[in-house]
Structure 1
Amino acid sequence: MAACACHPSYAWRMNDSVDPAAAAQQAARHPLFERLARLGYVANGILHATLGVLASVVATGGKAQADQSGAMRALSAQPFGVALLWICAIGALLLGLWSLAQLLLPGKKTRERLKLAGTGLVFLAAGFTFGRFGMGNPSDSEHTATSLSGELMKSLAGRAALVALGAVLLVMAGYYIYKGASRKFLDDLHRSSRREISWAVRYSGMIGYPAKGLVLGALGLLFIVATVQGDPEEAGGIDGALKAIRDQDHGSVALGAIAAGLISYALYLILRARYDRMD
């Protein structure tokens, strides 16, 4: 006999149906997802620490590719480097996915959603890049930047886009410097009850944020100058920006200070993995 729609077992099956939106929101709120996503900050810290070491090599006259590709290549050359790259890839992808998952939650302001979307896309891209190097399929970010700049410089719209990109990087640089100098980054964190940890978080952020800002500012200026001069070779990415700083008067000293600042920023990011508010 066919089951009646009013039969209790039928009603139970109807009520037991899963709402995909509710399930997605529940997953986005899951504390395990949040804890695993924190690994993305560790991955970012490892990347910046390696970049800081490479920048110090450049500052002292050594040869190194001080950019994302150079940092990942240096990591892959270390013992267990490939395993480390895969750990970083997983961490960055998890943080990217967690950030995008937060967009599903109600009550988020437009500014929060834009920030989450930007963070999600940046970390997803970083995760895929870590994965490419882990698979032994590296890319050269300096060559990519130069090639893309060369293509864009062939048209008026492309040149305008490069200048706009440089301006955005300068604005970001100002924001990073302000956030470090004003200690606004502390608003993103849960305060630690341990004095030595609080001291490390505070001062690593105060030193690290401006250093990151100076790198972004130099990169932004490089894009603008390269576009004005019509020379894509000048738009060499972060490596080109750091070497441009080195080539100025007292540039080696300045670049050495930036290298130390990047390592300080890496320490802050690793501490942030533990104390970030994630809300």
Structure 2
Amino acid sequence: MDASEVTNKAQQVIEHPWVKRVARLGYISNAVLHIMLGILAIAVAAGSHAEADQGGALGAIAKQPLGAVVLWICAAGAVLLGIWSVVQALLPHPRKLKRLKLAGTGVVFLLLAGAFMQFAWGGHSDSGKSTSSFSVALMQYTGGRALLVLIGLAFIGVGVYFVYRGVTRRFLKDVDASSHAGLQKTMTISGVIGYPAKGIVLAAVGLLFIVSTVQGDPKESTGVDGALKAVRSQDYGPTMLILLGAGLLAYGIFLAFRSRYDSMDS
């Protein structure tokens, strides 16, 4: 069997309807994560000292009845979507930008799967401390300060892109529920609210990277948890944080819909 035959076989496998259905479970995993993040953000706005980041969200899930089962299911879904995306990226594709996006999606979901597995096994991690330690370590190297600023700019860039997708409703290109008018409207509303909220959170993380680096205090760069708590410390911060939490909940709801109605186009 030559390379072209292998490629064709791989294409047939990942394009099989059942393979796509199983891969969609990854969006459920991401939905669960963002819904919990939204709940934690609202709790922080109310004065809670909870960790409003990935580690805090996964830890909160683990503490629930059957939490480990939920985490294992989410891990499986993230692995499946990650593998599906990576395989898609490795196959010939007419649009290089699409391949790059698929590769990035694959890596993100495989890393997310690892985090789900870690907590499902009973482990834990502090995302804020990990981010802070990474920033401090990187600052010790020549060019580390510049790299941290670039990382911050990258987060801001991705955040702006999320806001853009939400405002322009470009996310609707990824889903198809045109035969259900009411459902289509619900998905549109959740996406219009959710994408900008997600983007603002990412941009806040990037801004925290830049500010802490410029001020020479990289340990203050504590990821999503630090960014959300920085928002809370501002004028009208609790109100803004409640809105962001609600937006993250909306984004999670959109992802849940996406698990069913994503077009999964290659």
Give TM-score, length-normalised by structure 1: 0.91
2:233 to 239, 242, 247: 247
1:136 to 111, 117, 122: 122
Give the equivalent residue in structure 1 for 2:203.
Answer: 217
Number of matched pairs: 263
State the alpha-carbon separation in 2 of the partners of residues 170 and 104 from structure 1.
Answer: 28
Pair 1:90 & 2:72 matched: no
- The one-letter amino acid paired with 1:174 is V
1:108 to 75, 85, 94: 94
Question: In the alignment, is the contact (CA less than 8 A) between 1:24 and 1:104 conserved in 2?
Answer: no
Pair 1:260 & 2:227 matched: no
Give the equivalent residue in structure 2 for 1:169.
Answer: 155
1:273 to 256, 259, 264: 259
Worse overlay, 23-32 or 158-167: 23-32
State the alpha-carbon separation in 2 of the partners of residues 66 and 107 from structure 1.
Answer: 38
Pair 1:206 & 2:192 matched: yes
- The one-letter amino acid paired with 1:175 is Y
Pair 1:44 & 2:26 matched: no
Deviations 1:130-165 (A, max 9, x none): 011101122211111010100111123111111001
Pair 1:236 & 2:236 matched: no
Q: CA RMSD in A?
A: 1.4
Give the equivalent residue in structure 2 for 1:81.
Answer: 67
Give the equivalent residue in structure 1 for 2:43.
Answer: 57
- The one-letter amino acid paired with 2:227 is A
Deviations 1:36-63 (A, max 9, x none): 0100001100000000000000001112
Question: In the alignment, is the contact (CA less than 8 A) between 2:190 and 2:253 conserved in 1?
Answer: yes
State the alpha-carbon separation in 1 of the partners of residues 53 and 80 from structure 2.
Answer: 23
Deviations 1:160-198 (A, max 9, x none): 111001001111111111110111111111133222211
State the alpha-carbon separation in 2 of the partners of residues 57 and 233 from structure 1.
Answer: 24
Give the equivalent residue in structure 1 for 2:9.
Answer: 23
Question: In the alignment, is the contact (CA less than 8 A) between 2:89 and 2:100 conserved in 1?
Answer: no
State the alpha-carbon separation in 1 of the partners of residues 215 and 90 from structure 2.
Answer: 45
State the alpha-carbon separation in 2 of the partners of residues 215 and 144 from structure 1.
Answer: 18
Identity of aligned residues (%): 50
Deviations 1:173-224 (A, max 9, x none): 1111111011111111113322221111000000000000110010000000
Question: In the alignment, is the contact (CA less than 8 A) between 2:7 and 2:91 conserved in 1?
Answer: no
Runs of at least 5 residues in structure 2 that lack an aligned partner in the other structure: none
Measured after TM superposition, the shift of residue 19 of structure 1 is 4.7
SS in 2 for 1:44: helix
Pair 1:188 & 2:156 matched: no
State the alpha-carbon separation in 1 of the partners of residues 260 and 7 from structure 2.
Answer: 29
Measured after TM superposition, the shift of residue 125 of structure 1 is 0.3
Worse overlay, 22-31 or 173-182: 22-31
Give TM-score, length-normalised by structure 2: 0.96
Deviations 1:93-117 (A, max 9, x none): 1000000111243333110000000
Give the equivalent residue in structure 2 for 1:156.
Answer: 142
SS in 2 for 1:139: coil
Worse overlay, 132-141 or 112-121: 132-141
Runs of at least 5 residues in structure 1 that lack an aligned partner in the other structure: 1-14
Deviations 1:229-269 (A, max 9, x none): 11122101100000000000111100010000000000000
- The one-letter amino acid paired with 1:237 is G
